[in-house]
Structure 1
Amino acid sequence: MSGTSLKPTLNAWHLWGLAVGLVISGEYFGWSFGWASAGTLGFLITSLMVAAMYTTFIFSFTELTTAIPHAGGPFAYAERALGPTGGFIAGFATLVEFVFAPPAIALAIGAYLNVQFPGVDPKLMAVGAYLVFMTLNIVGVKTAATFELFVTVLAIFELLVFMGVVAPGFSWENFTAKGWAGSDEFSGVAVAGMFAAIPFAIWFFLAIEGVAMAAEEAHDPHRTIPRAYIGGILTLLVLAIGVMVFAGGAGDWTTLSNINDPLPQAMKMIVGENSGWLHMLVWIGLFGLVASFHGIILGYSRQIFALARAGYLPKALSRVHPTFHTPWLGVIAGGVVGILAIFSDELIKLGGQTLTANIVTMSVLGAIVMYIMSMVSLFVLRKKEPALLRPFPALGYPVVPAIALVLAVVCLVTMVWFNPLVSGLFLGLMGVAYGYFRLTAGRRAALAAPAAVAAAAAEVVPEPSAG
């Protein structure tokens, strides 16, 4: 086993568990911040629009993941289609998405645990979660993926239990009351609120694309990855709409916006504070947060590994553990950044939003930039490499990928408009990263030269011998 190569051990079930598990924390928290600006009805429309973007994106993205199964995922597609600068933009955006999502989830884990242990600082519990799941990711990818599948199934079960428990008290009148940005009337304010809520609708589905980063560790990725993606997006669509509607109809939904634990608080409205159902939700509900937290650590570590292997990050970060065959330094590096984000209140609390809301927005900005780069890469590769083997071509090409691209651009423009300070921080980080990218151009050229020579040698067909 090479010091910079990964071991293929994952089957379709592992990958489906990863696809759903990466995202499923978005059903437990984060999305309810969208109610604060859009209301329940406005946010429902925003969520359906975002769901359309993700569905068209996934049915297009699978073309890239199966044609180019690479741990770098979007970075590899963009570099191949658009060159090193395109690879840098996609790689930076993906890294921001996957490095900034875990601290938001860790804070939610701390908030859930704080319900049971009020005397313990939620931030310290968030750091404890990092230490536990960084260790698990270093121990081995198959162990990590099997654990991911287990907690994902439990998390799905718990969301179904939540819907079942609150269903008897569900009221459509509760859900629709002041449902247009805090008003009973549809207006221009409601429309503005719907656009402002886009990042929190994206949180319902954010990081499903991370399965692509396990492509080098998948058995038969041409078959297993499309199955994982299609099964994953369908599972998440049902869960996202169900959880949002049932929570909104449980009581006064305005008390559930801008908090990290909307599901336990919604259940309290139906069963009271001392119900066994509530305690079960808090404890088993942690599995949903853990599934995403654990899976995204796997995702960011593979992205760091791939970028370092290609010379975009320091070479040391591409080292694979000699025993566990995992990118252990990548796991640690992303964890350090995440833990610093948890304690960087004054830096991250911008624009009057909560720390969690701004971390979510930063992560979503990275995701949207990456989606745009991926769809542009798909169109470019269709022209540039028409003979490329595409085991799972984009459905409805070019219409379906075009819909995904247009919706992603709309999301990016509105997010920048409504979040200028976080967007400025995102661009500032990109500027610093681009400076490093330019300074290390020589190292990437040195890494690319042997690969180019090997590729050219492989294309040489020897003349048949005269004898």
Structure 2
Amino acid sequence: MKSESSNQPIGKVMHHELKQTLGTWQLWGIAVGLVISGEYFGWSYGWASAGTLGFVITAIFIAAMYTTFIFSFTELTTSIPHAGGPFAYARQAFGPTGGYLAGAATLVEFVFAPPAIALAIGAYLHVQFPGLEPKHAAMCAYLVFMALNIVGVQIAAAFELCVTLLAIFELLVFMGVVSPGFRWSNFTAGGWAGANTFSMGSFHGMFAAIPFAIWFFLAIEGVAMAAEEARNPKRSIPIAYITGILTLVVLAIGVMVFAGAAGDWTRLANINDPLPQAMKFIVGEHSGWMHMLVWLGLFGLVASFHGIILGYSRQIFALARAGYLPEWLSKVHPRFKTPHRAILAGGVVGIAAIYSDELIQFGGQTLTANIVTMSVFGAIVMYIISMLSLFKLRRTAPNMERPFRAPLFPLFPAFALIAALICLATMVYFNFLVAVVFAIFLVLGYVYFLLTRHQRDTASADVLLEE
């Protein structure tokens, strides 16, 4: 057994306990589905601080960061197709401590994103059923989709592809329905942080809106955690990632512009259902189009919710298999071959977050906004570590098989790294209390990491072969 101090290669895994069944279209469905709820809600909170025009600039900057990041991240995913994703890359590049930091950050991202989406599902259902408590609906969503993920990855991925296609169709329908009322003057009115002209306050607001622009694209990297379940990851993952990010950029710009141009955009900021409310400007509250949007709009939320459950469960599974979490979380279901305990564990944390108003609703932000921000903190830290891992592995493992190489290296990964560092600095400045809570999570996790070295040294389910 290797000691923890050795730099263990993660190019191959001896025991593939997860079934390799996913094809290119299914991976594309996961890539887009993981993120597409970001087009339905969350981003409009950015309007509250930056205004529509200011938020456009923020969103373009973040879109550039994600595009360069995905082109760079794909090199890591195809070189090291491991269910741990960023955890595996950082562990190979920087050893166990690097693996811990990347794994913990990814875990925060993927465990805290689902409760925000579940609350949005509850808000959408509340529009149709005013007597339904949104939090109860959110909890029921967890129970239903945890069960679906446990049944099997093939069924889960097929479902994910279907609801993703329906969600894209619905976004196109939304843009078509509100287009007759499209007025550019609506979008630009007070577009600079509530003012009609650019000022230093606009600049301030654009930085404050960074977490909500990230929400447009958050979690696309989760495809990496399905790499062990892909039939041909070296070919299918690059296609899924690149087409996925291009799909999402187009949809994000379209939804944001059409929603803001439909009416008084200030009424859409700080709410969980901006698209139905934007449609009310055009068709009224009782239109059949309105009811269709609410029902079909659920597909976008469900696609991301369901996909991120897949993502967090694989991250918990991989960390437990390598001894970074209790070993019993790495067990797979004897019949379905899915990490059922990891699925349930992440669900328990998410449901607890939904009902933790007094703990999570602080700093003048709503419960959803704080959960979104916490998830984004995890993502940004993981992006930074991943890009550093790419640079390190290019230097220390030049002969590693790289089926896909980051284009314009080192420019693309350098831009993604610098942009992520800027995002992290501004997020700490504008969300200091959430940053403190995030740091506490990392510190407590690191204490556990230090106390469980023997657990990692004796982990037998993630024995790695030399190249």
Does residue 1:232 correspond to 2:282, yes or no? no
Count of matched residue positions in the alignment of Structure 1 and Structure 2: 454
Q: Residue 317 of structure 1: which of 329, 334, 337 is its match? A: 329
* Residues 1:376 and 2:388 aligned together: yes
1:155 maps to a residue whose letter is: A
1:60-209 equivalence runs, <5 A: 60-209=72-221
Query: Does the 8 Å CA contact 1:362/1:422 hold for their aligned counterparts?
Result: yes
Using a 3 Å threshold, how does the CA distance of structure 1 residues 8 and 297 change in structure 2: closer, same or farther? same
- Select the residue among 344, 354, 358 that pairs with 1:342: 354
Q: Which residue of 1 aligns with 2:260?
A: 248
Alpha-carbon displacement from aligned partner over 1:19-72 (angstroms, at most 9, x marks no partner): 000000000000000000000000000000000000000000000000000000
Q: Which amino acid aligns with 2:166?
A: L
Q: Is the 8 A contact 2:30 2:307 kept in 1?
A: yes
Aligned mates of 1:432, 1:119 — CA distance in 2: 40
State the 1:449 CA deviation.
12
Residue 442 (structure 1) shift: 1.6
Work out whether residues 316 and 325 of structure 2, in 8 Å CA contact, stay in contact via their aligned partners in 1.
yes
CA distance in 1, matches of 2:176, 2:384: 38
User: Deviation per CA, 1:424-444, whole angstroms, max 9, x where unpaired?
Assistant: 000011111111000001221
| Residue of structure 2 equivalent to 1:463 | none
What do the CA deviations read for 1:110-145 (whole angstroms, capped 9, x no partner)? 000000000011000000000000000000000000
| Separation of aligned partners in 2, 1:290 and 1:257 | 22
User: For the residues of structure 1 that align with 2:459 and 2:182, how far apart are their CA atoms?
Assistant: 60
Is this contact kept in 1: 2:18–2:229, CA < 8 A?
A: yes
Distance 2:353 2:78 in 1: 34
Q: Please tell me whether the aligned partners of residues 181 and 193 of structure 1 are also in contact (alpha carbons under 8 angstroms).
A: yes
Q: How does 1:346-357 map to 2 (within 5 A)?
A: 346-357=358-369
Whether the 8 Å contact between 1:22 and 1:295 is mirrored in structure 2 is yes
Q: Determine the structure 2 residue equivalent to 1:40.
A: 52
Is the 2:321–2:461 contact (alpha carbons within 8 Å) kept by the matching residues of 1? no
1:320–1:367 Cα change, 3 Å: same
- Please state how far the C-alpha of 1:450 moved relative to its aligned partner: 9.4
Residue pair 1:93, 1:370 contacting (<8 A) in 2 also? yes
* Residues 292/449 of structure 1: CA separation in 2 closer, same or farther (3 Å cut): closer
Checking the alignment, whether the CA contact within 8 Å between 2:321 and 2:462 is kept in structure 1 is no
Deviation at 1:350, TM superposition (A): 1.5
Q: Does 1:58 align with 2:70?
A: yes
User: Are positions 1:292 and 2:304 aligned together?
Assistant: yes
Partner of 2:228: 216
Aligned-pair CA distance for 1:390: 0.2
2:427 corresponding residue in structure 1 = 415
- Deviation, 1:236, is 0.2
Return the letter of the residue paired with 1:269.
F
Shift of 1:446: 2.4
Once the two structures are superposed, residues 259-310 of structure 1 have per-residue CA deviations (whole angstroms, 9 ceiling, x without a partner) of: 0000000000000011110000000000000000000000000000000000
| Whole-Å separation in 1 of the counterparts to 2:15 and 2:382 | 28
Q: Which stretches in structure 1 are left out of the alignment for 5+ residues?
A: 460-467
Q: What is the SS of the residue equivalent to 2:81?
A: coil
8 A Cα contact 2:23 2:231, kept in partner: yes
Structure of higher CA gyration radius: 1
Q: Identify if the C-alpha distance between structure 1 residues 316 and 380 changes in structure 2 by more than 3 Å, giving closer, same or farther.
A: same
Question: Aligned pair 1:438/2:446, yes or no?
Answer: no
Partner of 1:386: 398
Instruction: Please give the alpha-carbon distance, in whole angstroms, between the structure 2 residues aligned to 1:339 and 1:219.
Output: 33
> Structure 2: how far apart are the matches of 1:68 and 1:449?
17
RMSD: 1.3
Distance in 1 (CA, whole Å) between partners of 2:459 and 2:108 is 25
The one-letter code sitting in structure 2 at the alignment partner of 1:303 is: Q
Unaligned runs of 5+ in 2: 1-13
Structure 2: distance between partners of 1:267 and 1:273: 8
